Amino acid sequence: MFHLPFSMRSDILRVYKTVHTWTGIVAGLLLFIAFYAGAVTMFKDSLTDWTTPPAVRAVPSVPLDHADVLIERTLSAYPAARKLFTLALVDANRVRLSWQSAPGQRFDAWLDDQGQLHTAQSRPSDAASFIDLIHMTGGVPGGYDIGVGVMGVVSLLYGLALVSGVIVLLPTLVKDLFALRIGRNLKRMWLDAHNAVGILSLPFHVVMALSVVAFGLSDYIFDVQDKLIYQGTLQPMMVAQNPYFAKAPAAPHAASEPAPSMLSPAQLLASVRERAPRFEPTALRYRRAGRAGATVFIAGDDVRFLARDGGFALMDPFSGKFLNAQFLPDGGGGTNWSSATSAFYALHFGTYGGAPVQWGYFALGLAGAFLFYSGNLLWIESRRKAMRRDGVPVMQRRSTFVMASLTVGVTLGCICGISLTLAAGKLLAGRVGDLHAWHVGIYYTTFVAAIGWAMLRGAARGSVELLALATLSTAAIPVLSLIGALAPSSGLWFSANAGALGVDIGAALGALCFAWMWRKTWQRVGSERGDSVWSVRGKDGVQLEAAADDEPERLDAREVVETREGR
């Protein structure tokens, strides 16, 4: 008979605790970045609305019935648009056409009442996409593939930390799950909060860990399998079973044959709606339009289904044939593999359930960031040397000082960098040539400078000063909108649509939270014990907080993850 290990031997629990501690410490800072940026990008479309100038947003739309004429005249005047252009659905009956001629450079095209083609060039901000990239790569430099691969390895450690943490907590799970013992022992309070957040959000974290391992390491896993098991035949086998894995869609027409006329967007959308009546298309993305091998990717959404990226279909724009409909909700007829993959993506990105799921994932993302931050604090507190009973100050370990400063610098550097680069999307729009380069430069400069500042000033002073910067940089977001509303001649603007307004309100609330944290931290660093790194009274600010002494831990069933109180 299986029994829960409430009486598990203390030496076994100690091993699991060690595994939990070190896997969490190694992975925690990168996971904080990924979770905080991921929470922000749950409202990616709203961030894009906030950073989009009125002139770009006011580009005229065209009736859907005239979209084929718009496409024909645009491609005739601008052949480079054939490579890739997007036909976005403003509503069920109107569309906008745009393409990028170079990174950060966008062209919009439309027809006037006389059917004449007009175009406008702009350099809109891609702040939302850049923050999403930080979420996916943890901000690791070196390119997308390297960053995602690193996060795949980090997520392996993350999964190990989850399993070991649950095992460590089992002996006191029922008794302490909802316990939040608030009092003078701050370490116990942080531990209670850490445990409660971790257990209550465990299903969410399991999905995150498994999905990121699959996303980040799948190419490496497939390559190894292909060489060691399938002798180079894995890729053709996967393509045969699922066209999604093809490097490029098979050309439906020979390159030497003249391509026939493409079907109109209205005809393509009618085919999609016939196959999936409740699927709501949002955009058609054409590749090699009008040429042999052309495809059109139809993106959309159906909140009733766990669909990959909200759902999509790949079609031949000449014949209207579905090249890949396995990820089309309620009509794709996908395989078990594609259904499982769709669910995996949807569960990771929250592309189902509409606004309630978005807000839920936002809260869970912030809670996850808190989980990794609090885990680092607990590691620091467990290794603090307490002041001797005769009042003689002690020097803390160098590792304690470095981890405290890194925790402050990385977490607040990420927060400040994201706020400042988002604010730059509005402040620099139309004023610089390559806005994407500015986003990258602002984020990484702020991030690295915050780490350096925390190391130079120490965790106590650095946390106060960087929290002040986090408050100001986050408050800058609604302030820029306010300036745009009061002084449009400044070149700034105020967006009254719900999404952009929500960004202003959310940032204002975030700035208030950071201001409250700054005030509490400022009060604490002046009153904390002299042997705390959160105290400015200690020598060089190298001392650590909380009342845990430096004696060996007493590991029993009640306090399996706690160190003894300093009494």
What's the rounded mean pLDDT across residues 530-548?
Answer: 51
Asked if pLDDT for residue 259 goes beyond 70, the answer is: no
Torsion-angle region of residue 154: left (phi > 0), alpha (psi -120 to 50) or beta?
alpha
pLDDT in tens, 415-456: 999 999 999 999 998 888 888 999 999 999 999 999 999 999
- The residue that leads in pLDDT, 242 or 91, is 91
pLDDT in tens, 263-316: 999 999 999 989 888 888 999 999 999 888 899 999 888 777 666 666 788 999
Asked if pLDDT for residue 42 goes beyond 90, the answer is: yes
CA gap 206, 241 in Å, rounded? 28
CA gap 363, 426 in Å, rounded? 26
* Amino acid in position 414: C
CB 446 within 8 A of CB 392: no
CA gap 495, 417 in Å, rounded? 23
- The residue that leads in pLDDT, 495 or 174, is 495
Mean pLDDT of the chain: 80
pLDDT in tens, 95-144: 999 998 877 788 999 999 888 999 998 888 889 999 999 999 999 988 88
Asked if pLDDT for residue 538 goes beyond 60, the answer is: no
pLDDT value of residue 89: 93
Asked if pLDDT for residue 339 goes beyond 80, the answer is: no
What is the H or E stretch that residue 223 is in?
A: helix 202-228
> Please, which residues bridge with residue 102 across strands?
105
pLDDT value of residue 253: 47
Q: What is the pTM of this model?
A: 0.82
CB 546 within 8 A of CB 187: yes
CA gap 344, 258 in Å, rounded? 41
The three-class DSSP label of residue 195 is: helix
The CA-based dihedral angle spanning residues 548, 550, 553, 559, taken in that order and rounded to the nearest 10 degrees = 0
What is the H or E stretch that residue 323 is in?
A: strand 322-324
The residue ranges of every structural domain in the chain are: 54-123, 385-545
What is the H or E stretch that residue 131 is in?
A: helix 127-137
pLDDT value of residue 25: 83
User: What token pair was written down for 199?
Assistant: 């257990």
pLDDT value of residue 563: 35
CB 289 within 8 A of CB 82: yes
CA gap 136, 95 in Å, rounded? 30
The three-class DSSP label of residue 440 is: helix
